[in-house]
Structure 1
């Protein structure tokens, strides 16, 4: 477990990631991260993956298109 501290960065707030975390996540200056809500509560921080984003957009489109069908199946 790594403890992070919220710091002021200009007019914003942020966190500074330790070098060992950046190394283990294969991140460098300027890379993007995604913050997602975890099913068990809390949040998960992951490296940005454009393929995952594309798949998520396709899934959201399917959910919108078949909303009524999915609602019926959930009963």
Structure 2
């Protein structure tokens, strides 16, 4: 499913407005916390807050930082 939206200026920042269909697909409501995670090919994944998700991402980022050289070699 592809949902089209535009980047808009909001105060001194930029943002996107998620249409109703996107909110329904994510199963979130107004005020929900969403996580943007970097994905291949200059894309982002949008994930609703899940219990423990933030902690898992911190551990993953620390592991990637700590084993950066190993990850780079494995990617070859």
* Same fold? TM cut 0.5: yes
- Residue ranges of structure 2 left out of the alignment (5+ in a row): none
Q: Secondary structure at the match of 1:30?
A: coil
CA 56–6 in structure 1, closer or farther in 2 if over 3 Å, else same: closer
Indicate the structure (1 or 2) with the bigger Cα radius of gyration: 1
Tell me what 1:15 maps to. 16
Aligned length: 70
Displacement of 1:43 in angstroms is 1.3
**Structure 1: 5+ residue stretches without partners:** none
Compared CA separation, residues 52 and 9, structure 1 to 2 (3 A): same
Secondary structure of 1:55 counterpart: helix
Question: CA shift at 1:60, angstroms?
Answer: 4.8
TM-score scaled by length of structure 1: 0.67
